Structure 1
């Protein structure tokens, strides 16, 4: 159900974002405690500001009221993806090559299901990550379909 609502919201949202020259990063419909949240993450080159989030929130809220795809009460949140921006699409991996990433897998590669390191390349649907293993630097190649979750990572 929540994936279907996220997809319907994306379809409603796309024309609004195109008109404003903004990019959709992610839509998440999830329950926290007793409350449901519809979270929309948007961005553009150079980043977005609170005014743009407000405009998108107002327009999306009006369209959601018109089309009414969600039963029951929920909270709508529109924001920037932040510094640990999720990487959802292949285009995200291409765009953020050279950046530090966190990747969680559906199944282990070399005995590991999580990697934190530099996204060195993304070619032929394979992410190549350079990471530290104790004192040595290693590389792992991860097929896109094995990635359960990924986001930019802040490494100190």
Structure 2
């Protein structure tokens, strides 16, 4: 159910964002206590509240017309945040050289959280530099990959 909703909302959002300079980062439709439809946006220089409000109004109008979601839900349109998750190939390519934090499904070299500099994405393997050493982690072993924030 959620993939169908996410795919439809992604398609509608991409149509609305055409020629705006705003990038669709991700769409998620998740059940927490209630259902949430979350749309994450970005653009050069950072996303602004007006961008989120504009898309929220446009998307809400389209979704009301089509009525594809039978559950009641909350629509949230926002920036992915400073510690954004990297999911798509373009996310990895854009953030080469940045520090990332990878949470793995099972320990790798005794660790389930690995922090390093992203050096690339090769054949579905996340390439990192950790303490001066090259490390490759298969994407299917990574539960989550996020930009790493260091508050030193």
Fold match (TM-score > 0.5): yes
1 CA distance for matches of 2:110 and 2:68? 42
8 A Cα contact 1:90 1:144, kept in partner: no
Partner of 2:149: 154
1 CA distance for matches of 2:150 and 2:128? 14
8 A Cα contact 1:25 1:86, kept in partner: no
Distance 1:91 1:62, change over 3 A: same
**Larger displacement relative to structure 2 (69-78 or 116-125):** 116-125
Partner of 2:78: 79
Partner of 2:138: 143
1 CA distance for matches of 2:40 and 2:59? 12
Distance 1:90 1:140, change over 3 A: same
Partner of 1:24: 24
Q: How many residues align?
A: 151
Partner of 1:70: 69
Matches within 5 A, 1:12-51: 12-33=12-33, 35-51=34-50
2 CA distance for matches of 1:51 and 1:111? 45
TM-score by structure 1 length? Answer: 0.86
Pairwise CA distance, 1:138: 4.1
1 CA distance for matches of 2:58 and 2:65? 11
CA RMSD of aligned residues (A): 1.8
Matches within 5 A, 1:46-57: 46-57=45-56
2 CA distance for matches of 1:116 and 1:6? 30
Q: Could you tell me which runs of 5 or more consecutive residues in structure 2 were left unpaired when the two chains were aligned.
A: none
